[in-house]
Structures are given as structure tokens and as C-alpha cells.
Amino acid sequence: MRKEPNLFKVCILSLVFAFIVGLVGIETAWATDTSLKIGLATNQRTGYVFSKSMLYFKDASGKTFKASGKVLLKTNSPKKIYVNGKSATLPLAITSKTPIYWGNRPYRGWLQIYPSSQGFNVINVISVEQYLRGVLKMEVNPAWQMEALKAQAVVARTYALRNKGKHSSQGFDLCALPHCQVYRGINAEDPKLDRAITSTKGLVLYYGSKLAVTPYHSDSGGYTANVWDVWSGNIPYLKAQKEPFSYVSPYSNWRAVIPLGELESKLRKNGINLGKIQRITIAKRDEGGRAVSILIEGTGGRKTIKASKFRMIAGSDKIRSTNFEIKGVGKNRSTPTGRLSNQLSEEAVLNDHDGKLLSSLVKEGVFSTEELMDMLVHPERKPHYLRVALQRQSGTKSKTSYYFASSNGNALVLEGRGWGHGVGMSQWGAKSMAEHGWDFKKILMYYYPGTKLKKIY
């Protein structure tokens, strides 16, 4: 006679099974959920969509319709949009069997029209791998070595997934601008870059149990930056690293001339009102020589700010990196550090200008303990030690750190190396590594030490 199953045990086993399946389902869903919402345009009032095949529309109420050719989208009220004159409720989904154009650019996936405070946002919903096809060409040259391209694919993929939801308040994950990653859809696709993406499909960088933070930049100028010096936080794998190979890029050397009036105005707009600038000092440098903080002194006060903030205030298109020297000024400006007062003799008493200069050099650690003690015991020797310090600077690669303004000057002059914030992978550095035979894994482990590669789909 067949024994009837214990109903209580059956129920318990069923619940346990369901729980386990649920956990697996959650993990599987995360691993296979590779779609992204990319903001192509925000706060639009009108615009056109187009596809070479039929366009299908579905609005928030479930209403569906179709149209062909160039279709006009227009709104004049919140959450309402007109599609070739037909009223629809936002958000609106637009699909087609062929790529959909917004403006003059074609995109894979499908479009979503999402309500915004001033009209509507245009969003491209697309898989991560297809998204990368529209990103890589905007970041690296397809002619570069394949291993450098693979490294870029991995960091761009990791960045996208780590920052998913960055613009959630606007209805999308990432924007198509440098604020996130530049994305140009099908127009940016390239066969060689496609191979780099395909060969690293699903590969991302992890640190511990989380996706790694993977910022990157164009050119470090020979030495990357500490994340805590540029932004904030203590991320152990985003630390200053010397490039293992020297290389030349279009950004290896640059020069910036910034009118003082313009700089003073930009400082005021950022809540820093110091009056007329009298002196600018690089107050601190990191181990690679990159400026960390800037002291600005003016007729209305003095303030120390992060060099990265100073760069953004002055204009990152002008000050391309924080790896710079203050060379002085343009026409009719006083000289940078290196020139002493004409009246200075071997045993003279320092004037205010030279006294401040000596104090700054002391803070910078130019002198040995013995020299500092000698100056303390024999203050009359300070002019001698000031000359010694300046001779050391002129005889080495140490960087000019000071700028003294005169009443008839007009511009600050900087000379620097590299382009970008300097944190994480240097794209030109990765190119050089690939040229020296490094594979993409070795490149990534150098720029993000302690992270691990993981295939998530």
C-alpha cells in the first residue's frame, strides 16, 4: 500500500525550493539584465524621429499606433505629447525593426520619450554591449593596439554598470556626454573596436564584492593621481602610479595663458572673492609632482583650494591637467620664483618678498634639518640658503610653484603635461603598455591594483 506524503513536509520543502529558486532567479536576473537607458537629449519641446521601416508607438495608457517616414514629436503640456498631431501620454515607447534616428544620428535598441520639467527627454534603451559600440571610438583611436582597446572596453563597461542610475531623476541611467561617457550610437561604431568589445564580453572589474570604480583619462603626463587628492574618499586601488614607459601624446606638453580679470571673475562666481590677485602658490604637490592644492592671495584675502577645483574653475579646456608649473606671466608681469630682489647681497636682511619666498620653500621641504638649524642659529645666513634653494630648483626638475602679480600685469601663464583628472587609467599610457607587449589584463591590474576581472554574463 502506497504511503501518503506528509503534507507538512511537502509544504516546507516547497517553500525552501521556492526560496532557493528565488535567490537564483534574482542573481540570474542581475547577471543578464544588461540593458541601459542613455539620455540623448533633455528638456526638448519638439523634434523628429525616423526609421527606414515602420515605427511603432505605445504610450503610458497602453494606446498603440504606428507611423512611417519622418515623424514629428511635439509637446506643450506636462506628460502629453503629439505624434504627427496624435495625442499620447508620456512616457512613450518607440520601436522599429531597423535603427531609429533622433536628429541625424541612428541608434540601435529602442527610444523612450520621458516627461521632463520643460518638455521631454529622449532616451535610448540598449544593451550594454551595443552601448559600448557607440562609446569606444569617442574615447580611443581604433588604430591603436588591440590590447589597449580591450582595456578600454572593460573599464567603459565597468563604469557604465557601476554608474547605472546616475541620472535616475531624469528617467535614464547615463547621459551621452563627457559627464558620463560620450555616446554617439551607430555613427561611432568600428569593426576593430567591435572585436575588442566582443572578445571581452561581460568582463568587468571588481573590488571585493562590488564593481570597481574605474575612472580614466586621456594622458597622465607621466604620473597618475591619487583619487583623494582630486576628489575625495580613500579608494586603495586609485592611487598615484608612475607610468612604466615614457611616451609622447598630443597632450604631452601644453601652455595656458589666463587673463587675471577672467580668473578673478570665475573665482567670484564660485564664491571665492579675493579681490585683485597678488600671488598664486602651489601649496602642495603629490609624489609625482602633480599640484594638489593652490593658495591664492589677493587684496581681499587668501584661500587654499584643491588644484582640481582650481582647474575646473579656470576651465579644464585651458588647464588640461593638474600636472603643471607656474611659469609666471605674460607681458609686463613680474617673474616667477627664481629671481631675487636686486638689492639682495650675501649677508643682507631679506625683504618681505624674499622672506615670504624663503618661508614657502621651508614649508615645501627644500632644506635639510641641519640647514634649518643653521638658519635658526644664524638668521643672517638666510639669503645664502635662499640662493642655495633656488639653485637646487634650477638644477633639477623641480617645478616652479609661485607667481607674484604686479600692478600692470594681465595674465597667468602655466605650462603642463597631460590631459584629464589623472585618476585611474591613462589611455595614452595604456597604448604605450600595449606597444611594449602588455596584454589588457596586465594593463588593468597596473592602473587598478587589487581589483579582479569577473565575467558577469
Question: Is the model's pLDDT at 254 over the cut of 60?
Answer: yes
**For residue 22, what pLDDT band results from cuts at 50, 70 and 90?**
very low
pLDDT for the residue 366: 75
In whole angstroms, what is the distance from residue 344 CA to residue 386 CA?
Answer: 10
pLDDT for the residue 409: 56
pLDDT for the residue 49: 98
pLDDT for the residue 185: 98
The single-letter code of the amino acid at 348 is: A
User: Does the global pTM surpass 0.75?
Assistant: yes
The single-letter code of the amino acid at 207 is: Y
pLDDT for the residue 282: 94
Question: Is the model's pLDDT at 374 over the cut of 50?
Answer: yes
Identify which has the larger pLDDT, 28 or 185.
Answer: 185
pLDDT for the residue 3: 42
pLDDT per position as a tens digit, 256-265: 999 999 999 9
In whole angstroms, what is the distance from residue 403 CA to residue 414 CA?
Answer: 10
292 half-sphere exposure, CB direction, 13 A CA radius: 16
Q: From its phi and psi, is residue 365 left (phi > 0), alpha (psi between -120 and 50) or beta? A: left
Residue 190 C-alpha cell reads as 568600428
Residue range 155-160: mean pLDDT, rounded:
98
Question: Is the model's pLDDT at 153 over the cut of 90?
Answer: yes
Q: How far apart are the first and last CA of the chain?
A: 50
pLDDT per position as a tens digit, 308-344: 999 999 999 999 999 999 987 544 333 333 344 433 3
In whole angstroms, what is the distance from residue 185 CA to residue 180 CA?
Answer: 15
